[in-house]
Amino acid sequence: MGIPAKYVHTNIIAEDWRALAGFYQQLFGCTPVPPERDFQGEKLEAGTGIPGAHLRGVHLRLPGCGENGPTLEIFNYNILESRGKTAVNQLGFGHIAFSVDDVAAAQKAVLQAGGHTAGEIVTLQVATGAEVTWCYVTDPEGNIIELQSWSK
């Protein structure tokens, strides 16, 4: 038997949470959900397992899901662990995806805003005959984003 659940948010740990939040607001129309978060102290340390932890950040409502839809939670910790090279086939959470009208135009906007390419724009056909045009890009901090557009 499953657990009754509702999807709530996806978290990104950022070096500069304000700049990264601005990127997602400007390009994808994500909107802030107040209040900004600013936590520190005994309970945060216990919950994270990080002695001396202090986190700050914001939740951004994802576009197309209504005012009660899930959020993208962008946080920064005062103590950060480095990560390896960004790769689309890295174990764990891989990417977030946005449906766009024009993949090439969206890719260009991401690049102009400080993001990078992580592959070429391609079109694949699924078993139903529908086609999806998509590409991977990264935000300015190297988190992978899929841009996709479907046709029948």
H helical segments located in 1-152: 17-28, 42-48, 103-112
State residue 22's pLDDT score: 98
Please tell me the distance from the alpha carbon of residue 75 to that of residue 58, in angstroms, as a whole number.
6
The CA-atom distances, in angstroms, between 93 and each of 11, 88, 144 are: 10, 10, 10
Mean pLDDT of 140-148: 96
Statement: residue 84 has pLDDT above 90: no
Please give the domain boundaries of the chain with CATH numbers for all domains.
9-77 (no CATH), 96-151 (3.10.180.10)
Question: What number is the average pLDDT over the span 106-123?
Answer: 97
H/E segment holding residue 36 = strand 31-40
> pLDDT tens digits, residue range 12-66?
999 999 999 999 999 999 999 999 999 999 999 999 999 999 999 999 999 999 9
Q: Name every residue whose Cβ is closer than 8 Å to that of residue 125 and which is 6 or more positions away in sequence.
A: 131
Average pLDDT, the chain: 95
This prediction has a pTM of 0.92
Average pLDDT of the residues in 83-97: 89
Distances (CA, A) of 146 to 50, 119, 121, 132: 31, 10, 10, 12
3-state secondary structure of 47: helix
Q: Is the peptide bond before 35 cis (omega within 30 degrees of 0)?
A: yes
